[in-house]
Amino acid sequence: MPKPLNSSQIFLQGLWNDNPVLRQILGICSTLAVTNLLVNTLVMNAGLIFTVAMSSLTVSILRNYTPMKIRMMAQTLIIASYVIIVDIAISAYLPDISEALGPYVGLIITNCIVMGRCEAFAMKNRPWPSFLDGLAMSLGYAAVLLIIAVIREPLGFGTLLGHQIMPDGFTPWTIMIMAPGAFFTLGLFVWFLRAKFPQTAGEKKQGH
C-alpha cells in the first residue's frame, strides 16, 4: 500500500497534478453549463466544495462499517442528502441565483468528481485526509471554472460579475454564452496547459 499523502501533497494533487477537470476531464457537464456568468459559477463552486468535502468526510467515517456490496448505494444516499441541503439553502437565501442555476445544483449528485473521490480516496483513507482531499479536488474544479467564467462572461455579455467592463462599442460574442463557447474555451485551455506542462508520457513525447 502506498504511503499516505500529507496535506500539502493532497492539495497539490487536487489543484494541479491530478486536477479533476484538467487532468481527469471529469465534471465537464457542469463546467460547460454554469460558466457563462461568474456569479453563478461562484455559487456552483461553493455548492460543489461543500458537497465533495462533506461526502468524502462522511464516507470515510463510515468506511469500516459499510458493507462492500452496498457501498455505492450508501455513497449515493450521502451525496444526494448533501446536494439537497445545498439546493434548499440556495433557494432559501439566493432565490435569483437558484432560478439561474436551474437543475444544475441538483445535478451535482451526478458530478463524477463527488463519487469519484468517495470511491478513489475516502473509502481507503482516514476522515481528515479524506475531507482535505475532497476540499482540494473541488477547489481544483472551482479554479478551472472560475478561469473559464472570467473568459466567458466578458466576451459573452461584456460584463464581469454584472459590471460593464468592455468598452461601449463592444459587440458581445453570443457563442461564448452558449455551450459551444464553453467547449472551445475549455478545450483550448486544457490543450494549452497540457502542452505547456506535460505530465503523462504521451504528452511529454508530443511536447519534444
Query: In the complex, which residues of this chain contact other proteins (CB under 8 A)?
Result: 36-37, 62, 65-67, 69-70, 73-74, 77-78, 81, 84-85, 88-89, 91-93, 95, 99, 102, 156-157, 172, 174, 177-178
State which residue, 5 or 150, has the beta carbon closest to other proteins. 150
CA gap 117, 148 in Å, rounded: 23
CA distances from 136 to 8, 11, 77, 102, 104 (A): 10, 5, 22, 26, 21
Q: Yes or no: say if 199 and 44 are a contact pair by the CB < 8 Å rule.
A: no
State which residue, 69 or 205, has the beta carbon closest to other proteins. 69
State which residue, 5 or 85, has the beta carbon closest to other proteins. 85
The least distance separating other proteins from the CB of residue 201, rounded to whole angstroms, comes to 41
State which residue, 99 or 203, has the beta carbon closest to other proteins. 99
The least distance separating other proteins from the CB of residue 17, rounded to whole angstroms, comes to 33
CA gap 76, 206 in Å, rounded: 39
C-alpha cell at 11: 492539495
Q: Do you know the residue count of the chain?
A: 208
State which residue, 18 or 87, has the beta carbon closest to other proteins. 87
The least distance separating other proteins from the CB of residue 50, rounded to whole angstroms, comes to 13
C-alpha cell at 181: 463557447
The least distance separating other proteins from the CB of residue 172, rounded to whole angstroms, comes to 7
DSSP assignment of 125-191, as one string? S-HHHHHHHHHHHHHHHHHHHHHHHHHHHHHHHSEETTEE-S-TTPPP-HHHHSHHHHHHHHHHHHH
The least distance separating other proteins from the CB of residue 11, rounded to whole angstroms, comes to 29
3-state SS assignment for residue 37: coil
State which residue, 12 or 33, has the beta carbon closest to other proteins. 33
